[in-house]
C-alpha cells in the first residue's frame, strides 16, 4: 500500500553548535543490513551512495530564525562506492541499519545519484554535468534535501522511473552549458521503515534529448523555450511537461 504525504521544501540549517562526543560509526558485525542494488543504463554513470545516520543520543544544537537554540537529532554523513562486477551494469552495496558507536547511530536515509556518462554534444570545455538524485528514507526524520511529496511504502522499495537528458543554455553566454537529467514525473521521496532491499532500475532515454534556452531578456510573461524530442517547442512557465514526457517514454528510443 502506498500513501502520498505532502511536504514543504526543507533544507537543514548549516549553523550548529558542536559537542565533544565521539561521533564515529561502529556498526555491529551481526547487525541488520539494507541491500542496495542498482541496474544502470550503459550511458549513465552511477555516483557514490550518500548515507545519512541520525542519533537521539548525540543531539545537535542550532539557532532558529528567531535566534533561539533548539535541539535536534545529530547526524553523520558518509559516502560509499558501490561494488561493481567488471563489465557489468549491476552495482550493489550493503548498508548497516545500526551505525553503532557512542552515539548509537541509526540509518536515516540514502541518496542514489547518477549523471550522463558522456555528454550528448561532445566534451564542451564550458559545460557542467549535473546529476539527478533520488532519496529513500528509513525513519521519521526529514532528509537533508526535501521537495515534492513523500511516498510511504510497506516493505522493499523498487525505483523504476523514466529519465531524459536535458541541455540548458543560459542567457549569459559565459555561463556553462548545463547537461542534466529530468524525471518523467514529479519528484518523490520514498519512505519505508521496514525495507531490507532497495532496487534502482532507471530507464534513461539517452536519444530523446530536451533542449532548454533562456530568453535573452528577463521579463514578466517571457519564459524559457523548450524543444522536446518530438520536435515541439513550448514557452510556458511550468516545466517540464510531464504528460508529454510520459508519452515520449513509451515510444522507441
Among 78, 64, 76, 71, CA closest to 14: 64
Is residue 240 in a domain? no
Quick one: pLDDT at residue 4?
47
For residue 172, being part of any structural domain is answered with: no
Q: What angle do CA 146, 59, 50 make, to 5 degrees?
A: 40
- For residue 14, is pLDDT > 50? no
> Is residue 111 in a domain?
yes
More confident residue, 63 or 99: 99
Model confidence at 92: pLDDT above 90:
yes
In a domain, 99, yes or no: yes
User: Residue 79: which pLDDT band, with cuts at 50, 70 and 90?
Assistant: very high
Average pLDDT, the chain: 88
Handedness of CA 101, 103, 107, 112 (dihedral sign): negative
Residue 154 has pLDDT above 90, yes or no: yes
> Could you give the CA distance from residue 161 to residue 231 in angstroms, rounded to a whole number?
23
**Lowest model confidence (mean pLDDT) among 3-17, 48-62, 78-92, 115-129:** 3-17
Q: In this structure, what C-alpha cell is assigned to residue 18?
A: 558542536
Full domain range(s) for residue 41: 2-161+187-204
Q: Is residue 53 part of a domain?
A: yes
**For residue 82, which of 59, 114, 60 has the smallest C-alpha distance?**
114
pLDDT value, residue 18: 45
C-alpha cell at 223: 519564459
pLDDT-derived band at 16, boundaries 50, 70, 90: very low
- Is 138 part of a structural domain of the chain? yes
Give residue 124's pLDDT band: very low, low, confident or very high (50, 70, 90): low
Instruction: Give a yes or no: residue 85 inside a domain.
Output: yes
* Whole-number pLDDT of residue 20: 52
Res 1 pLDDT > 50: no
The domain total for the chain is 1
Q: Give the pLDDT confidence score for residue 123 in this predicted structure.
A: 53
Distance CA 82, CA 196 (A): 17
Quick check: 250 pLDDT over 80? yes
Asked if 36 and 200 touch (Cβ cutoff 8 Å), the reply is yes
pLDDT over threshold 80, residue 22: no
The model's pTM: 0.86
Q: Pick the residue with more confidence: 164 or 239?
A: 164
Q: What is the mean pLDDT of residues 83-90?
A: 83
**Distance between CA atoms of 204 and 89, rounded to whole angstroms?**
13
| CA atoms of 210 and 165, how far apart (whole Å) | 6
CA dist 232 and 7 (Å) reads 33
Q: In this predicted structure, what is the pLDDT of residue 120? A: 65
CB 184 within 8 A of CB 245: yes
Distance CA(11)–CA(147), nearest Å, equals 9
Reply yes or no: is the peptide bond before residue 240 cis, omega within 30 of 0.
Answer: yes
Confidence of residue 61 (pLDDT cuts 50, 70, 90): confident
pLDDT at 8 over 50: no
- Cβ atoms of residues 95 and 49 within 8 Å: yes
In a domain, 29, yes or no: yes
Instruction: Say whether pLDDT at 11 is over 90.
Output: no
- The predicted model gives 55-83 an average pLDDT of 91
237 — pLDDT class (breaks 50, 70, 90): confident
Which three three-digit cell numbers place residue 159?
A: 525505483
pLDDT tens digits along 155-214? 999 999 999 999 999 988 889 999 999 999 999 999 999 999 999 999 999 999 999 999
Amino acid at each position: 500500500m502506498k500513501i502520498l504525504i505532502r511536504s514543504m521544501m526543507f533544507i537543514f540549517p548549516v549553523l550548529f553548535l558542536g559537542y565533544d562526543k565521539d561521533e564515529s560509526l561502529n556498526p555491529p558485525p551481526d547487525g541488520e543490513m539494507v541491500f542496495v542494488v542498482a541496474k544502470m543504463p550503459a550511458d549513465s554513470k552511477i555516483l557514490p551512495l550518500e548515507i545519512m545516520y541520525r542519533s537521539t543520543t548525540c543531539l545537535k544544537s542550532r539557532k532558529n530564525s528567531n535566534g533561539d537554540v533548539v535541539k535536534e537529532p545529530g547526524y553523520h554523513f558518509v559516502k560509499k562506492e558501490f561494488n561493481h562486477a567488471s563489465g557489468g551494469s549491476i552495482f550493489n552495496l550493503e548498508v548497516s541499519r545500526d551505525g553503532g558507536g557512542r552515539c548509537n547511530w541509526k540509518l536515516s536515509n540514502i541518496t542514489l545519484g547518477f549523471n550522463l556518462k558522456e555528454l550528448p554534444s561532445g566534451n564542451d570545455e564550458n559545460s557542467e554535468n549535473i546529476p539527478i538524485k533520488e532519496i529513500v528514507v528509513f525513519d521519521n526524520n526529514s532528509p537533508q534535501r526535501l521537495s515534492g511529496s513523500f511516498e510511504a511504502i510497506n516493505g522493499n522499495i523498487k525505483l523504476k522511473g523514466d529519465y531524459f537528458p536535458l541541455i540548458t543554455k543560459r542567457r549569459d553566454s559565459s555561463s556553462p552549458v548545463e547537461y542534466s537529467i529530468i524525471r518523467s514525473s514529479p519528484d518523490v521521496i520514498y519512505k519505508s521503515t521496514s525495507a531490507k532491499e532497495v532496487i534502482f532500475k532507471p530507464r534513461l532515454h539517452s536519444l530523446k534529448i530536451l533542449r532548454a534556452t533562456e530568453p535573452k531578456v528577463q521579463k514578466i510573461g517571457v519564459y524559457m523555450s523548450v524543444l522536446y524530442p518530438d520536435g515541439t517547442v513550448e514557452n510556458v512557465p511550468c516545466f517540464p511537461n510531464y504528460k508529454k514526457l510520459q508519452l515520449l517514454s513509451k515510444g522507441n528510443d
